[in-house]
Amino acid sequence: MPHDPVAIARDLLMCPSVTPAEGGALAFLEGLLEPAGFVVERPVFSEAGTPDVENLFAGIGAGNRHLVFAGHADVVPPGRLDLWTHGPFAGDIADGRLYGRGAVDMKGGVAAFAAAALDFVEETGGDFGGRISLLITGDEEGPSINGTVKLLDWAAQRGERFSHAIVGEPTNPAALGDMVKVGRRGSLSGFIKLRGVQGHVAYPHLADNPLRVAPAVIAALMDPPFDAGTERFQPSNLEVTSVETGNRATNVVPAEVEIAFNIRFNDLWTVEALHQEIAARVGRAVQSAPLRTGRPAPLAYELAFEPTNAVAFLTHDATLIDGLSDAVEAVTGRRPELSTTGGTSDARFIKNYCPVVEFGLVGETMHKIDENVVLDDLHRLKAIYRAFLDRYFAG
């Protein structure tokens, strides 16, 4: 009997696994995978100041080719329950859709690859000349500290060597088959504090208003563009996200301004090179900013960057990219666009172990009220993963 991705997705959706709660989701997967011969483990990872998180690693088979399906069983909170037409954990099916928090992000994706892997293993009698693993974290939507990073390290220490990975996050903007993600931009945040001298607005010569310098700094951060993009990447883009003085009094010159920013950057940049470029832009802007009343010297400032574990990466592996594109085309009749758009994902950690791409459901309703997945999409996504498995272990 083939495994039904709709039934699996529905059972998963009925587990209230809002990060960091396991909610029964991993226990359900264990009960599904273990009878089929997968060796299932559920390591719990801890770190001071963060909640403990349960994860799941399931593996079957042996051989040189080791394919990992990666994903998460945790979901974002449902928000106001009264706004949902179908309960976020009710598992309602209506109008050809399955409703619930996590339907597309990404319990539906997990259900599709679990069903595909189970069918494949059963039909080959477990003798397919390689190894398949499912790497499921419970901490993707949260701080991402006790999840994929530690699970990868844990698996590596146990001798697991991955050849290729597919992350089942929702990657398609409008229709199944639209888009495979072959990389991700990096993300870097920072803060600039411009330090002036507080004072009475009626005595500006006794004060030093940092807001006179802020516009030049903001402009220099965002222009000119950092680059023009590449074949696979959008141009790197910096957005100033906040300008704060903490001052609400109109008769006071504020002592300082804090400017916050984030840049999403492509693989033309390392974090180190961005630090240097941004520091140079800020330095020049402060030097050339208009003089403040009675203050000929450049304004004092501080520039600080938040640590980042999100660097830009691009996967080139043809086995993975062509194989998955062929599978998508075989099932949907469409050749997917290869893209690096969107936010960060756990693929940024997996890429340190093996080539990784992402392909899953249509993301339209993710994180929204009445999140839902078209039932036929679940069946077709399972068929795509299955078509990939057939090609992958045949070749």
For binding to Zn ion (CB under 5 A), which residues are involved?
105-106, 169
Nearer to Zn ion, 65 or 367 (CB): 367
What minimum distance in Å lies between the beta carbon of 184 and Zn ion? 13
Using CB atoms, what's the residue nearest to Zn ion?
105
The yes-or-no answer on residue 140 being catalytic is yes
Among the options 140, 208, 267, 371, which is catalytic? 140
For residues 187 and 263, give the distance between their C-alpha atoms in angstroms, rounded to a whole number: 6
Among the options 54, 74, 141, 208, which is catalytic? 74
What minimum distance in Å lies between the beta carbon of 375 and Zn ion? 20
Question: Residue 304 phi/psi, 5° resolution?
Answer: -135, 140
Nearer to Zn ion, 105 or 139 (CB): 105
What minimum distance in Å lies between the beta carbon of 74 and Zn ion? 9
In the sheet where 130-137 sits, what is the strand order? 39-41, 56-61, 130-137, 65-72, 164-167, 356-358, 179-181, 337-339
What minimum distance in Å lies between the beta carbon of 374 and Zn ion? 18
Nearer to Zn ion, 169 or 390 (CB): 169
Nearer to Zn ion, 256 or 358 (CB): 358
155, 161, 163, 167 alpha-carbon torsion, rounded to 10°: 0
For residues 259 and 243, give the distance between their C-alpha atoms in angstroms, rounded to a whole number: 5
What minimum distance in Å lies between the beta carbon of 290 and Zn ion? 46
Tell me if residue 26 falls in helix, strand or coil: helix
> Which ranges of the chain would DSSP assign to H, the alpha helix?
5-13, 25-33, 108-123, 148-157, 214-222, 271-288, 318-332, 347-350, 375-394
The yes-or-no answer on residue 208 being catalytic is no
Tokens for 264?
A: 């999403």
Report yes or no: 116 and 389 within 8 Å, Cβ to Cβ.
Answer: yes
Report yes or no: 153 and 43 within 8 Å, Cβ to Cβ.
Answer: no
Nearer to Zn ion, 149 or 259 (CB): 149
Active site residues: 74, 140
